[in-house]
C-alpha cells in the first residue's frame, strides 16, 4: 500500500479506533471523497453498545483533492482490507458497515472473508455518471474535473456545514477506477452468504434509484433485509435519519 508522507489530515478526518467490551468488532468504511467523519457518530453509538470499532481513513482522503488525485483506488481498498485483518486479530466476530464506495468495498470483503453481518448504506449497484468512461481520454489533459454539489449528499443544512469532505471537483482517474471496481463488486454479490442489511434513501440523488433492489436481488445471502428512508440524501449517517439509522444498525448487529 502506498504510504503518505508529510500529509496534513483535516480536523475530524482522522481514523478512529475504539476498543469495546465484547468480543465483536465492526469495521466502518466511508465513501468516495469522504472521510472517517462520515461514520464517526455511528461508530460511537456502536461502541456504546460494547462493539470494538475501527474506521480507517483511506490514503488521499481527508487531506486534499490534489493528494487524492495522486492516490489510487487500489491503495484505498488495501487500507480497508488491512483494517479488516487487523480487527479480526482482536475480535472473534467481525461485521462490516459500508457507505457508498465503502459499501462496494464491503461487498468484496464479505465475499472473501464472510463476516458475521454486512450492512450496505447508500451503496450503488452501478454508477450514475456514465460519462466517467471518457476518463482515459481526458486524464492526459486534466486531473480534477470541476463539479458542483452544493448539498454534499446531505439534506440537513446544519450537519452539512460541519461535514468533512472534498468539495468542488472529482479526480478523473480515480472516478474511473471506482467505475471499474463497481463491476468487481457486482460479480462478488452472488458469492456472499453473510446476513445482509441494505439501506437507502428515496431522496438519494447520487446513486441510481434502483440500486437497493438490484443489490437485494443479486445477493447470494439467504437472510437479507432492506430499509428505505424518507428524509435524508445520500449520506444518511450525517443526515436527518441518522438516529433511526443508528438504532436499526444496532438492532441488526446485535
Q: Which three cell numbers stand for residue 49?
A: 453498545
What is the model's pLDDT at position 73?
Answer: 97
The answer to whether position 118 is within a domain reads: yes
Cα angle 40, 253, 49; round to 5: 60
Q: How far from the centroid of its chain's Cα atoms is residue 112's Cα?
A: 17
Q: 5 pLDDT exceeds 60?
A: no
The answer to whether position 87 is within a domain reads: yes
Residue linked to cell 424518507: 230
- Residue 76: give the domain boundaries: 16-253
Which residues make Cβ contacts (< 8 Å) with residue 6, sequence separation at least 6? none
What is the model's pLDDT at position 252?
Answer: 98
Q: Which three cell numbers stand for residue 214?
A: 438490484
Torsion of CA 103, 104, 106, 111, to 10 degrees: 140
Polymer length of the chain: 254
The answer to whether position 151 is within a domain reads: yes
- Taking alpha carbons only, the member of 94, 122, 86 closest to residue 197 is 122
Greater pLDDT, 118 or 169:
118
Q: How far from the centroid of its chain's Cα atoms is residue 214's Cα?
A: 18
Q: How far from the centroid of its chain's Cα atoms is residue 161's Cα?
A: 20
The answer to whether position 7 is within a domain reads: no
Q: pLDDT-derived band of residue 130, with 50, 70 and 90 as boundaries?
A: low
The answer to whether position 242 is within a domain reads: yes
The answer to whether position 2 is within a domain reads: no
Q: pLDDT-derived band of residue 146, with 50, 70 and 90 as boundaries?
A: confident
Rounded to whole angstroms, what are the CA distances from 166 to 67, 110, 131, 238?
Answer: 11, 28, 20, 15
The answer to whether position 9 is within a domain reads: no
Greater pLDDT, 143 or 250:
250
What is the model's pLDDT at position 188?
Answer: 98
Which of 4-8, 78-82, 106-110, 173-177 bottoms out in mean pLDDT, i.e. has the lowest? 4-8
Mean pLDDT of 109-135: 90
Tell me how far apart the alpha carbons of residues 58 and 72 are, in angstroms, rounded to a whole number.
10
Mean pLDDT of 72-100: 98
* 15-69: pLDDT as tens digits: 999 999 999 999 999 999 999 999 999 999 999 999 999 999 999 999 999 999 9
The answer to whether position 20 is within a domain reads: yes
CATH number at residue 29: 3.40.50.1820
Mean pLDDT (the chain) is 93
Q: Which three cell numbers stand for residue 245?
A: 439509522
Domain count, the chain: 1
Ranges assigned E (strand) in 30-113: 52-55, 93-99
Tell me how far apart the alpha carbons of residues 221 and 81 are, in angstroms, rounded to a whole number.
21
* β-bridge mates for residue 170, sequence order: 145
* 168-199: pLDDT as tens digits: 888 999 999 999 999 999 999 999 999 999 99
Amino acid at each position: 500500500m502506498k504510504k503518505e508522507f508529510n500529509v496534513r489530515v483535516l480536523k475530524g478526518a482522522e481514523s478512529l479506533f475504539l476498543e469495546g467490551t465484547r468480543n465483536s468488532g465492526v469495521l466502518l468504511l466511508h465513501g468516495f471523497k469522504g472521510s472517517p467523519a462520515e461514520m464517526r457518530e455511528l461508530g460511537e453509538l456502536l461502541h456504546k453498545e460494547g462493539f470494538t470499532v475501527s474506521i480507517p481513513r483511506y490514503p488521499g482522503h481527508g487531506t486534499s483533492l490534489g493528494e487524492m488525485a495522486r492516490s489510487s483506488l487500489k491503495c484505498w481498498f488495501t487500507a480497508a482490507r488491512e483494517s479488516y485483518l487487523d480487527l479480526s486479530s482482536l475480535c472473534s466476530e467481525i461485521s462490516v458497515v459500508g457507505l457508498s464506495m465503502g459499501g462496494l468495498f464491503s461487498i468484496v470483503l464479505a465475499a472473501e472473508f464472510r463476516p458475521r453481518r454486512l450492512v450496505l448504506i447508500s451503496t450503488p449497484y452501478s454508477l450514475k455518471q456514465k460519462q466517467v468512461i471518457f476518463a482515459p481520454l481526458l486524464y492526459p489533459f486534466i486531473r480534477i474535473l470541476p463539479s458542483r454539489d452544493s448539498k454534499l449528499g446531505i439534506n440537513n443544512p446544519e450537519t452539512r456545514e460541519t461535514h468533512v469532505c472534498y468539495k468542488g471537483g472529482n479526480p478523473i482517474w480515480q472516478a474511473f477506477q471506482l467505475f471499474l471496481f463497481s463491476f468487481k463488486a457486482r460479480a462478488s454479490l452472488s458469492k456472499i452468504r453473510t446476513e445482509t442489511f441494505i439501506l437507502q434513501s428515496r431522496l438519494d440523488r447520487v446513486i441510481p434509484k434502483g440500486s437497493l433492489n438490484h443489490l437485494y436481488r443479486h445477493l447470494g445471502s439467504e437472510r437479507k433485509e432492506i430499509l428505505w428512508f424518507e428524509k435524508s440524501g445520500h449520506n444518511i449517517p450525517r443526515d436527518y435519519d441518522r438516529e433511526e439509522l443508528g438504532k436499526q444498525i444496532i438492532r441488526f448487529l446485535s
